[in-house]
Amino acid sequence: MRTGVAGAASARSLEACGDDSGSSSQLLKFRQQEFAVRAQRRAFALSASIEDVLVAAADRASERLKRERPEFSAATLNKLAYCIPLLFGVGALAALLTSVSTIMLCALAVLPAAFRILVVVSPTQGPRRASSAIAHEALPIYTVIAPLHREARVVDQLLSAIEQLDYPAEKLDVIVIVEADEPATHAAITRRKHRLPLTVVPTPPAGPRTKPKALNIALELARGSFVAIYDAEDRPESQQLRRALETFRSAGDNLACVQAPLCIDTDTTWLARYFTAEYAGHFDVFLPKLAGFGLPLPLGGSSNHFRTAALREAGGWDPYNVTEDADLGMRLARLGYRCGVIESTTFEEAPATARRWLGQRSRWLKGWMRLSRVYFSLCFSSARTCMDYTSQRDRNKIVRAPMFVHVRNGSANACLHVRFCGRYRG
């Protein structure tokens, strides 16, 4: 077994994604900036201790999205954005005062369910069949990231499932992220016999102490052209990495992520059976339909497979959003990328008690509210920009005014982001 920390003695975090990632649509400028940044990190890593390298990586994981794409970061929300849910609540209470507004409120309340029904019953094209199997020597390096937080009980189960993946061991890059102040989880990893090389990265105890921050640290160390995320209780099917890779190879370069369906395989309680039904409807019916229509996907928290280059271009995960998966799915769509689904299941456990279920749901609702505030702020910002343009005397004839336009030039292998409020004459 090889366990350790990728740090001062390792340049793995500085390796560029190979050409086999299929991300030919990345801007040359973005590539050059990445190489320059990695060169600086290499120089720092060779002269600093492992602890200093990890602290610097944690700082970058916390601040990268806020610094590079502040409009997408929940950390940059102003105080007014935090009042949006309260304003909606006050408006809902006020709507109950009259019969007409009450009817309108009820109609708004059923819109999400109506949208789901419309998506499910609408016909779509079947999923595109993946290309033939990829030869062993043509398989790229595949990074598997497993963030662990107080998961000593299921460490052996997770690592055993990863070891059973049908993928060459020499082309698997397994990174396990553990909090530095969790000795039980560290001990559980150390005492088992491993069949694959592992990189165990202790996360420095600095805020925000969230899963997306840990994933961002691991993303810096990833040397694979593709990245898969698994939670502690996950048990993916053995062919899942190959299925994802075949889907990436058969799709266009703008396919940045594929979601493997999650399935609850425990039915010990009524709560577990409820989760089984809910996950079946969401991952087996709703998400494939959304992907068929080309709509943004609210990704699940695990079994996501990414093109590494596209994930880095999007800024990774938002460490200040607890539903970082759904946020990333929306952000990839805003940048012109698609997300899809694959036919390979990951089995996991359901919350065993009502207390755990309530904590999970509260976290999801909190994350979705924060995500809605981010995009409401984007809409308000766009509206203000439009008003600034229309107030100018020499630009008073608007032909059209889209809020956001994304142009992807496939022939030139370039990606152009344009944000404007109108095209003007004269």
- The C-alpha atoms of residue 38 and residue 32 are separated, in whole angstroms, by 10
Average pLDDT over residues 191-218: 88
Classify the C-alpha dihedral 45-210-196-18 as positive or negative.
negative
b (16+ CB within 10 A) / e for 260-284? bbbbbebeeeebbeebbeebeeebe
Q: Could you tell me where the DSSP H helices lie in 96-130? A: 99-121
Task: Evaluate if residue 130 carries a pLDDT over 80.
Answer: no
Do the Cβ atoms of 13 and 221 come closer than 8 Å? yes
Q: Whose CA is closest to 235, among 313, 137, 149, 344?
A: 344
pLDDT digits (tens, 9 = 90+) for 86-120: 777 777 777 777 888 788 878 877 888 888 888 88
b (16+ CB within 10 A) / e for 135-173? eeeebbbbbbbbbbbebbebbeebbebbeebebeeeebb
Q: Percent of the chain having pLDDT more than 90?
A: 27
Structure tokens at 418: 């344009």
pLDDT band at 170; cut points 50, 70, 90? very high
Q: Helix (H, G, I), strand (E, B), or coil: what is residue 103?
A: helix
pLDDT band at 2; cut points 50, 70, 90? very low
**CATH 3.90.550.10 residue window(s) in the chain:** 1-16+28-82+123-388
Do the Cβ atoms of 408 and 416 come closer than 8 Å? yes
**DSSP-assigned letter for residue 154:** G
- The C-alpha atoms of residue 231 and residue 348 are separated, in whole angstroms, by 9
pLDDT band at 426; cut points 50, 70, 90? very low
CATH for 1-16+28-82+123-388 (3.90.550.10, 1.20.1050.10, 1.10.3210.10, 3.40.50.150): 3.90.550.10
Classify the C-alpha dihedral 220-221-224-230 as positive or negative.
negative
Rg over alpha carbons for the chain, rounded to the nearest Å, is: 23
pLDDT band at 402; cut points 50, 70, 90? very low
- Strand ranges inside 124-269, DSSP E: 142-148, 172-179, 198-203, 226-229, 235-236, 255-259, 262-264
pLDDT band at 3; cut points 50, 70, 90? very low
- The C-alpha atoms of residue 230 and residue 240 are separated, in whole angstroms, by 12
Cβ atoms within 10 Å of 358's Cβ, excluding its own:
11
The more confidently predicted of residues 407 and 283 is 283
pLDDT digits (tens, 9 = 90+) for 300-338: 889 999 999 999 999 999 988 888 888 899 899 988 999
Place of tokens 């271009």: 313
Task: Evaluate if residue 144 carries a pLDDT over 90.
Answer: yes
- The C-alpha atoms of residue 377 and residue 116 are separated, in whole angstroms, by 25
Task: Evaluate if residue 208 carries a pLDDT over 90.
Answer: no
Q: Whose CA is closest to 137, among 174, 168, 172?
A: 168
